[in-house]
Amino acid sequence: MSNLVISVFLGGAVFSIFNSVFQLNTVSSIKSFFVKMFDELAENLGQYNFKRRTARLKRENIAIQKESIFVKYNRFVENILVDFELDKQLTLESFTSLLCILFAIIVLVATFFIQNVTFALLIAVSLMIGLFTYFSMQSRIMRVRRAEMISDAEDALCPLAREGVLVAIKKVMDNEGYIHKSLRPYFYEFIDNCEMGGYSFRQAMTLLNRRLGSRFDNFAKKAIIFEYNERKGMADIFMDIVDENAVVREINARKEEQFRKMNRDFIMKIIIIVLFFVYALSIAEFREFMLFTDAGKFLNAICLNVMCISFAMGQALQGSLELKRRDVKDKKKKKP
């Protein structure tokens, strides 16, 4: 490996001197060649992704897709793109293409260093699992934060809803402290749609519900019912939302505390294992076996896979325990 690195540096030095002495434009020509090649590759890849996207949308419109691993992957990636607000810049197909390119680069780099394609594939799979798990964890955290923002907005709107939902939204929007700045554009859009856009209240509220997601379903449904069927005392239906938000907020706070403890404990255990492994490398026989034999490299790759998969399973468990408002409703119904 050291001879290869020295040879590369010497070759680069000789190449630079040769170009300077004879005033050649080799570097610019090579750069132009690669730029043109990458432009053509990006154009062809874009056309291919467009065809795949069109075919997928046709399939989804024609029939309900069976719950296969590919459907689950598509839903998972689309949720991540929406949570990170990348759905306007990236499509499912372009994200998958970037993922494949990244996987190939990791395999090439790993193969260059460990000189074994099989082990390089194992390492690449481990890193991809870790990457997906990290994005999934961050996505879940962002969903929790967004749900909390929507709950705060609902808590501010519900007591004022007896005067009319549109009036309540306009009053709350006059004070910047009640609705988070990331949600305010959606409520401004709702007001504009009702007053100047020619939308009916139902259409504007449905659009606002679509912007804020399923977390806003209950408020939107009750707002439409209240707007078109207002009766004396009916405004109290909104106060149920405040009570439900309080229950969900309390349970989520306890749950997130447990999740943070779980993640912290897992990371501490991994750090202890890694430190013990580094310490064990001070033994010559162990270092020789783990770093320079195929069996040792295979064990290293398997251990890395086990750690990444364990972390992924922990995050999947946390995602499955995410509390939703309908869970609170179901619990209320079960009470005698």
pLDDT digit string, tens, across residues 199-208: 899 999 999 9
Domain boundaries, given as residue ranges, for the chain: 24-115, 153-240, 244-334
Average pLDDT over residues 292-306: 85
Taking 90 as the threshold, does the pLDDT of residue 130 lie above it?
no
Confidence check: pLDDT of 272 > 90: yes
pLDDT score, position 54: 76
Residue 115 has pLDDT above 70, yes or no: yes
Look over the chain and give the mean of its residue pLDDT values, rounded to a whole number. 80
Residue 12 has pLDDT above 90, yes or no: no
Q: At a CB cut-off of 8 Å and minimum separation 6, what does 204 contact?
A: 190, 193, 194, 197
Mean pLDDT of 186-199: 90
| pLDDT number for residue 188 | 92
The answer to which of 68-82, 122-136, 316-330 has the lowest mean pLDDT is: 316-330
Q: Is the pLDDT of residue 219 over 70?
A: yes
What is the Cβ-side half-sphere exposure of residue 66, based on CA atoms within 13 angstroms?
A: 2
CA neighbor of 143 nearest in space, from 155, 131, 133, 151: 151
Q: pLDDT band at 138, cuts 50/70/90?
A: confident
How far is the CA of 296 from the CAs of 275, 289, 290, in angstroms? 17, 5, 4
Confidence grade of residue 333 (pLDDT, cut at 50, 70, 90): very low
pLDDT of residue 323: 53
Say yes or no to pLDDT of 248 above 50.
Answer: yes
Residue 336: is its pLDDT beyond 80? no
List b or e across 135-167, with b for residues whose CB sees 16 or more CB atoms inside 10 angstroms.
bbbebbeebbebbbbbbbbbebbbebbbebbbe
pLDDT at 232 over 60: yes
At 233 the pLDDT is 63
Say if residue 4's pLDDT is above 50. Answer: yes
Give the residue-averaged pLDDT of 52-70.
Answer: 69
73: left (phi over 0), alpha (psi -120 to 50) or beta: alpha
pLDDT of residue 309: 87
pLDDT at residue 31, as a whole number: 66
The confidence band for 334, taking pLDDT boundaries of 50, 70 and 90, is very low
